[in-house]
Amino acid sequence: MTETKPSVNAAAITLPEPAELARLLGVAPQTVRVHEPHLFVGDARPLIEYTAFRSEDVLSHVLGSGWEKSKEEIELRALDGYFVRVPVAKLKQHRAYFAVARADGSPFMVDNPAQQESNLPLGPYYLIWDNVSDPALIRDGATHWPYQVSTVALRAPAMHSLLPDGIAPAYQRHAELAQKYCLSCHLVNGYGGDKMPINLADRVKRLSEPAFLTWVLDPAAVDAYTAMPAMAPMLPQAEREQIARDLYDYFLQLPVHQ
């Protein structure tokens, strides 16, 4: 393959149908066994086998092989407005796959108890990670496991939105936490996902710290039927609380635009 330089300004690319992708890549998808994080309850770590393409094959095909050398992020968008940005560095460090089916032929769906949803269709593409041979990934739970993915793009990190002028550089870590845990569904001043498009820079300033902490750590305590998942359920409680307090501090500091 010739090396091309993918551009961070290029339009997002719609992934071809799985059968067409197999033809274009010249490889059949393989069976990949993962601990399915959407099904983590208590200490249960159910194993599921998916049929999947290696992420490096898919990304090199659609973006050009130069994506691997960049310090950018891969943006994956789902049909329902959910969006995830995964740092290229994480994709280089761990094994990710684009799943297209269940290996045992059962429907390509999953339950998502954290968002009160069952029989969720996963296709056309579901980004999965080999957290069986790489158990460190279990800590991330379902973060960076977007389903119904239809488009892929290379993007520059959005630090101009997340760390605008006037915010101390020490908040970079907080901005990264917000991106990882919140901005797949919510916005900060226009940047983020459209699943629940509220501007956290604005909305959080109208919440007390205890109210915010409850939303983030235990949304079901606010509304038993909420579609908001609890943040980072796999992390120790003390660490979750620290992250939530840091996020509150960060959203209070952020200026509001739009």
Binding-site ranges for ligand HEC (CB under 6 A): 115, 181-182, 184-186, 195-196, 198, 200, 203-204, 207, 215-216, 223, 226-229, 231, 247
Residue reference for tokens 């990710």: 96
Q: Tell me the closest approach of the beta carbon of residue 222 to ligand HEC, in angstroms.
A: 7
Torsion on CA atoms 146, 151, 152, 153, rounded to nearest 10: -120
Report the distance separating Cα 130 and Cα 123, nearest Å: 19
CA-to-CA dists, residue 18 to 15, 52, 99, angstroms? 8, 9, 9
Q: Tell me the closest approach of the beta carbon of residue 143 to ligand HEC, in angstroms.
A: 8
Of 54 and 195, the one with the shorter C-beta distance to ligand HEC is 195
Q: Tell me the closest approach of the beta carbon of residue 247 to ligand HEC, in angstroms.
A: 5
Of 38 and 95, the one with the shorter C-beta distance to ligand HEC is 38
Of 148 and 226, the one with the shorter C-beta distance to ligand HEC is 226
Q: Tell me the closest approach of the beta carbon of residue 60 to ligand HEC, in angstroms.
A: 29
Question: Cβ neighbours of residue 136 under 8 Å, at least 6 residues apart?
Answer: none
Of 98 and 215, the one with the shorter C-beta distance to ligand HEC is 215
Report the distance separating Cα 80 and Cα 98, nearest Å: 18
